[in-house]
Amino acid sequence: MKYISLLIILVLFSCKPLQYVNKTDKVLPELGTFGVYSNYLLDNSHIPKSVVALKNPVRLKVQEIKVEKRAIFNRRDSLQASQKDSSLVSIEILDNISLISQLNKDKDLLEYLKKGENYSIVSKTKIHFPTSILQTIQSADEYYLVQNKEKTLSIELRQNNNLLEVIDFSDGKIVDIKVSDFCWGQNKKRKIEIFDFVPKGTSCNKNTYKSAQKAKKKNEFKF
């Protein structure tokens, strides 16, 4: 009888609807923001420091993602009810070469980043924009990350290589981010600089390292 009761309890629990874990309603950092981002199983810790300073536009990859109403996950989630059955916009840094080149030319920022081993950069975001802004985004054919204001990055929309509009990340709600780690190496002048970005949690390519100090020690050892 004891085992039958236990079996009934297990069956009842297995029949409960799946629950979607509610994300903490915090303000997520914008694209191009560097800082310390620690991933945990049930939560994310975001400590933004600053945004990169851009002198030249950086090409972006923009994609519309349809959001359908969840029939199974009927609990609260990170999107408000008015945002369901709508669209999100995925915005990702496409031209890493241009961004890395500009970072390496910013000597003050480079020295700052060299001092820490845990700095990463927000390389991709998902944003919910109002319908009017979404329609403008849909009509553009090129997208760039630009320095529109001091210490603030914006999205420049172009159509047929002409400026269409500039929108701010604050015009929408960021609902998710992806971050990338810096990979450090030694250039031809034997200076330590950023060589690449890799998704957080993955390894750097050969002869590059997550730590600028480690890259320096490895190269000093070679000589």
pLDDT averaged over 10-residue windows placed end to end, the chain, 223 residues: 48 38 64 82 67 93 83 48 70 97 93 85 96 95 91 94 95 94 92 94 90 81 53
Give the residue numbers spanning the domain of 154: 26-222
Q: Are 147 and 141 in contact (CB under 8 A)?
A: no
Residues with Cβ < 8 Å from 131, sequence gap 6 or more?
A: 86
Instruction: Specify the pLDDT at position 96.
Output: 96
pLDDT at 128: 96
Considering the domain boundaries, does residue 16 fall inside one?
A: no
pTM: 0.78
- Structurally, the chain folds into a number of domains equal to 1
141 in a structural domain: yes
Residue 183 lies in a domain: yes
Q: Residue-wise over 56-81: b if at least 16 C-beta within 10 A, else e?
A: ebbebebeeeeeeeeeeeeeebbbee
Is the residue at 217 inside a domain? Answer: yes
Element (DSSP H or E) covering residue 186: strand 173-186
Note whether residue 11 is domain-resident: no
- Cβ atoms of 30 and 153 closer than 8 Å: yes
- With tokens 């609260």, the residue in question is 76
